[in-house]
């Protein structure tokens, strides 16, 4: 499973309406051992996270929630198993695009690649009325 977006995903994200905040829901599965550096996959991702959190905050964003994914309640208990779920709030899609386009981010990203076995990142925008989906 890829841990970086493909060109179509990048273009779709960058050209979507940028009318306000976006929350990136990250589902993370770590490698037992990090590739190319010492420690576990989780430790390598931690090195990425320490650097990137400062970049997020510099653009007005923030990590709003992090939790251990303890069990799959609905879904494939093996294929859908994750180690961590993480929510990151950005003031706009553009602020995210600007961050991931910097050389500092590219340098930090290598730790993410070395530490993750797989990942899913969902760009989420707020709903004014959550019940509107079922009406």
Whether residue 46 is contained in a domain is answered as: yes
pLDDT in tens, the chain (135 residues): 668 899 999 999 999 988 899 999 999 999 999 999 889 999 999 999 999 999 999 999 999 999 999 988 888 877 789 999 999 999 999 999 999 999 999 999 999 999 999 999 999 998 877 666 666
30: closest CA among 17, 48, 11? 48
Domain that holds residue 45: 19-125
Contact of 30 with 41, CB cutoff 8 Å: yes
Contact of 82 with 104, CB cutoff 8 Å: no
Tell me what pLDDT residue 106 has: 95
CATH number assigned to the domain comprising residue 24: 3.30.70.100
Whether residue 105 is contained in a domain is answered as: yes
b/e map 98-107, b = 16+ CB within 10 Å: ebeeeeebee
The reported pTM is: 0.89
Structural domains counted in the chain: 1
């Amino acid at each position: 499973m890829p841990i970086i977006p493909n060109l179509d995903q990048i273009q779709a994200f960058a050209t979507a309406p940028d009318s306000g905040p976006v929350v990136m829901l990250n589902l993370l599965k770590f490698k037992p051992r990090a590739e190319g550096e010492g420690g576990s996959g989780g430790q390598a991702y931690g090195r990425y996270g320490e650097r990137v959190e400062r970049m997020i905050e510099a653009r007005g964003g923030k990590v709003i929630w992090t939790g251990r994914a303890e069990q799959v309640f609905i879904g494939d208990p093996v294929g859908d198993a994750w180690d961590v779920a993480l929510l990151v709030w950005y003031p706009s899609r553009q602020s995210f695009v600007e961050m991931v386009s910097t050389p500092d981010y590219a340098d930090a990203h290598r730790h993410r690649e070395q530490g993750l076995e797989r990942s899913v990142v969902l760009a989420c925008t707020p709903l004014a009325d959550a019940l509107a989906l079922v009406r």
